[in-house]
Structure 1
Amino acid sequence: MALRTDQPSTVPLDRGITRARWVLCVGHAVDDLYQGAVPALIPYLALARHYDYAAAAGITLAATLLSSLAQPLFGMLTDRRPVPRLIPYGLALAGLGIGLSGLGESYLLTWLAVALSGLGVAAYHPEAARAARAASAGSHVAMSWFSVAGTLGFTAAPLLVPLVVESGGVAATPLLAVPALVMAVVTGYALPALRRPRAAGPPASAGAPAGPDQWRPFLRLSAVIMARSIIAFGISTFLVLFTQQRLSAGPHTGQAVLLTFFAAGVLGTLWGGRLAERHSRVRIMRVAYLATVPGLLVLLFAPRHWLLLGAAWTAVALNVPFSLHVTLGQDYLPNRIGTASGVTLGLAVSVGGLAAPLIGTLADRTTLQAALTTLLLCSAAAVLLTIGLHDPTARDGRATSGG
């Protein structure tokens, strides 16, 4: 019988498991810090080493594409034989790669260092998501905190990197590895708590319903995540520029709107976890993606003084389903938790980064407003793709669309 996760878990967690849960959250923030560090570092590397646009894009590709493709492979590997040590090892590699990126003048060595960091990120996510689900004991709120932590880490990178590089130059990048190395040690000590038997309640794999893997809904869910990723990357990439054009304002105004977009996204993710304790995750996803349509319309076409509201509205709607994607994917593939985590956290999400240049090309040929209007098609696609999905842990037990 499937374990129901639509209700908050009543299983008491010992202090070690509770501590491990928060260590995983902090570790996720630190790990995703190194994903955000790559775009933050590129302007400094380009200035110091005279990279052209193609060379700079190659550095980004080393981190994002390689990491995203490797995550499902690590997931499949750990489905055969769980390797919890990949969590601290992945953290350490993610930090060491970025730390080495500023040393020496060779483009190849820099590229390999950033690729090493990407591999560390890829190694970290599948096992960390599995461990976070175990530590959450079926709590969607706990999983939403895990997802939010990654967002916070990514957002913190543009603050930390200039602090280090502007004071010591690109040769100071080894200092950026310190948070990863510290958290790798802390995580290594905390992980054994997740492997100890509990006095009561479900085993460490709690949260995923028993039964056969359901590949068809999982692939449909992956398509939903891709649509969401295109919207999120499209807005975050061009929001500052769009704000400057729309408001005839300077870059600081654009950065303030972008910060609002990220902050509202954090609130949306936490709200999604709360909602999932009471309602079908599929229904929440469908309503959230429907809500992105008016949010985008306000952002793109409403009078200028409504732009900030449109950005916040869209961010909340986009991020309410964020942590639910991971848990739902794990529930569709209960026998391949690592694969599900690798795809939902890596491969499917990376599509947005690949689509952003296409949006930019369209903006060059038309206008930025017209290019961003195409994101409405992605919202519609996300809504339509949820039709026919079911929530395996819906309260009424039905395997029907919308729960």
Structure 2
Amino acid sequence: MSQAALTSSYKKEMTNTNFKILVILGICHLLNDSIQAVVPAMFPILEKSMGLTFTQLGIIAFSLNMVSSVMQPIVGVATDKRPMPFALPIGLTSTLFGVLGLAFAPSFAWIVLAVFFIGLGSAVFHPEGSRVAHMAAGSKRGLAQSIYQVGGNTGQALAPLITALILVPLGQKGAAWFTLVAAMAVILLVYIAIWYSKKLNLDIQALKQKGKNALAAENPFSGKIIFYLTLLLFLIFARSWYVSGITNFYAFYAIDNYGFSIQKAQGFLFAFLVAGALGTFFGGPLADRFGKRNIILISLVGTAPLSIIMPFVPQTFAFIILMLTGFILMSSFSVTVVYAQELVPGKVGLMSGLTVGLAFGMGAIGSIVLGYLADQIGLSLTIILTGFLPLLGILTLLLPKD
């Protein structure tokens, strides 16, 4: 191919959005995160079948979150230096073995080991998946990340259904069915990896040259950039802590204050998660149209009035407010990823690892803090105070415009 033809092909690839790749990637994200949701969904089953203590269940949850979340920036740094297309199917193969181990684990130690493999697969998948979304985005980066991220949020929202339809009737061995889910994801990711390799062959020279020019012009980690990135991560932590408070403790609040059954409380939680998945999808296109910083600001500050009044309204209004809160708050989920990637060009994997992986790790720590707070001051007051977290979104005004 001539240099002129190569340049023309590269420019076309850079501006066109590859929706086929994005949809397949979003499906893989759904499959991956639904598998990850199996672990906490199995807690009641494991507690009953193996006699595990709450401390042991906490260790399992901590192991999953730390491996799958904290390792993401490490994977991102490694793949920023040397992209590895086939890390995607290899990572999901690790998840496949982890799920199989979880289904047939004879002891607590084996469960922790199985969860390690599931977390490792997820740690590899997320930063590399975000890189593929970035590569396939063309000029629609917000939309591309939304398609990718909405798959993951939908997979997480399936946890209540997984528990009711599969794990309750089949028990621990019911997790074995998710090896089929993992196998399907591996097959799809092999296709993604082949496209990824071809895309690298097409534009790697142009990207290298662009990277050299960018580095020559400005240090990507200047003091100002580090301040903006730290502020962005703080805002993500505030969002993660609020979501963690709702997903982990609102069901107990609804049972105590509205007299709900467990099933009805889970229904409210499912509505919040589904609305959040929809918000994730629409947030990206809105950011492409109105600006990323504006959507981040609106998603947090716009949530605050709703989250503050939610504990004080009747159950019907609480359901509506819960859905609106999930939709508005999560509209910035994919947007913060793209904002960070554009804030520090050339570090797609690292920025994805920090904004998605580390955020979930902080959400896990938030669960511990909020749980301790609920024990000390009561659940109702903890839910009320949690509603003020989105007000921290006003700090978004300190971030630079897109």
TM over 0.5: yes
Question: TM-score if structure 1 supplies the norm length?
Answer: 0.87
Q: Is the deviation greater in 213-222 or in 21-30?
A: 213-222
Task: State which of 326, 329, 332 in structure 2 corresponds to 1:318.
Answer: 329
Shift, 1:146, TM fit: 1.0
Identity rate, percent: 27
1:160-309 maps to which residues of 2 (within 5 A)?
Answer: 160-196=162-198, 212-213=219-220, 214-309=225-320
In structure 1, C-alpha distance between the alignment counterparts of 2:382 and 2:80, rounded to whole Å: 40
Deviations 1:84-103 (A, max 9, x none): 11111112212321221131
Larger displacement relative to structure 2 (296-305 or 232-241): 296-305
Distance 1:95 1:158 in 2: 21
In structure 2, the partner of 1:364 is 375
User: Secondary structure at 2:42's aligned position in 1?
Assistant: helix
Name the counterpart of 1:110. Answer: 111
Report the equivalent of 1:389: 399
Contact kept? 1:135, 1:204, Cα under 8 Å:
no
Q: TM-score, normalised by structure 2?
A: 0.87
Change (3 A) 1:10 1:335: closer
- Cα drift, residue 161 of structure 1: 4.9
Question: Which residue in the other structure is 1:46 paired with?
Answer: 47
Aligned length: 380
1:339 to 350, 356, 371: 350
C-alpha distance in 1 between matches for 2:390 and 2:290: 21
Q: Report the equivalent of 1:142.
A: 144
Matched, 1:27 2:38: no
Change (3 A) 1:278 1:292: same
Q: Secondary structure at the residue paired with 2:302?
A: helix
CA contact (8 A) 2:85 2:194 kept: no
Deviations 1:174-195 (CA, angstroms, capped at 9, x unpaired): 3211111122122112332234
Whole-angstrom distance in 1 between the partners of 2:357 and 2:166: 28
Match of 1:401 in 2: none
**C-alpha contact 1:161 1:176 (8 A) present in aligned 2:** no
Go from structure 1 to structure 2 and tell me whether the alpha carbon gap of 1:119 and 1:244 turns closer, same or farther (over 3 Å shift). Answer: same
1:84 aligns with 2:92: no
Shift of 1:10: 9.4
Specify every segment of 5 or more residues in structure 1 that has no aligned partner in the other structure, as ranges.
1-8, 395-403
Give 3-state SS (helix, strand or coil) of 2:52's partner. coil
Residue deviations 1:318-350, cap 9 Å, x none?
A: 111111011111111212111111111101232
Aligned-residue Cα RMSD (Å) equals 2.7
Alpha-carbon distance in 1 for matches of 2:321, 2:163? 29
SS of the equivalent of 1:151 reads helix
Corresponding residue number in structure 2 for 1:328: 339
C-alpha contact (below 8 Å) 1:240/1:258 kept by paired residues = yes
Residue identity matched to 2:67: L
**Where in structure 2 are there 5+ consecutive unaligned residues?**
1-12
More helix by share: 2
Work out the CA distance in 1 between the residues paired with 2:91 and 2:199. 25
Q: Does 1:98 align with 2:99?
A: yes
Displacement after TM superposition at 1:150 (Å)? 0.3
Q: Distance in 2 between matches of 1:35 and 1:131?
A: 21
CA displacement at 1:106 relative to structure 2: 2.2
- What is the one-letter code of the residue matched to 1:278? R
Q: Distance in 2 between matches of 1:344 and 1:26?
A: 21
8 Å contact from structure 1 (residues 231, 378) kept in 2: yes
1:371 Cα deviation from its structure 2 partner = 0.4
